[in-house]
């Protein structure tokens, strides 16, 4: 490392080659196999960025081990973070047939109402608008929105009671 700091490119290349082998063994004992190469590369990059901080009067291996330990900890944190953010390719998805059928029945039932009624019911009951927001959206007064919701829901209830195949 001291020769590499003095500008000897050959010594630096040899050093990096020997360190890559040492780091492979170091990380192979500490990380899952899929993570080893990334940890080695990150450590070599960190060593390259911090090579000016090495003091040739001190032992090299403890200096390297400190950098490797920090990169090991970073890699463990990244693994833990990915464990919660990565999604698998084969996620089980429930059958949406019932939801699609319900949405279709609801759409046909809303189609039986006056447009002003179905619009405010969709806004307030399905999309979560307040009556004031629905009023602004539709141009109806707040009291007209409330009346249309009340009458529309009463008509929907009557339609459902009349139709036996609606669940």
CATH code assigned at 44? 1.10.1740.10
Instruction: Please report which helix (H) or strand (E) contains residue 133, including its range.
Output: helix 131-138
Q: Which domain holds residue 38?
A: 2-85
Is the pLDDT higher at 80 or at 147? 147
Residues 76 and 127 in one domain: no
Model confidence over 15-54: pLDDT tens digits? Answer: 999 999 999 999 999 999 989 999 999 999 999 898 888 8
Number of folded domains that form the chain? 2
Residue 99 lies in a domain: no
Residue 98 — pLDDT band, cuts 50, 70, 90?
A: confident
* Cβ-contact 8, 14 below 8 angstroms: no
Identify the DSSP state of 164. T
Confidence of residue 92 (pLDDT cuts 50, 70, 90): low
CATH number at residue 119: 1.10.10.10
């Amino acid at each position: 490392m001291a020769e590499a700091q003095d500008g000897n490119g050959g010594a630096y290349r040899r050093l990096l080659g020997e360190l890559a082998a040492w780091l492979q063994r170091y990380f192979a004992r500490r990380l899952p196999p899929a993570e080893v190469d990334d940890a080695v590369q990150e450590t070599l990059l960190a060593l390259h960025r911090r090579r000016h901080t090495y003091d040739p009067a001190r032992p090299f291996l403890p200096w390297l081990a400190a950098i490797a330990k920090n990169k090991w900890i970073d890699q463990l944190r990244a693994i833990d973070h990915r464990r919660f953010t990565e999604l698998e390719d084969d996620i089980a998805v429930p059958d949406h047939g019932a939801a699609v059928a319900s949405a279709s029945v609801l759409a046909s039932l809303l189609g039986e109402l006056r447009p002003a009624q179905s619009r405010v019911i969709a806004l307030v009951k399905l999309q979560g608008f307040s009556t004031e927001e629905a009023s602004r959206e539709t141009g109806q007064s707040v009291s007209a929105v409330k009346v249309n919701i009340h009458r529309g829901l009463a008509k929907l209830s009557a339609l459902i009671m009349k139709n036996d195949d609606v669940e």
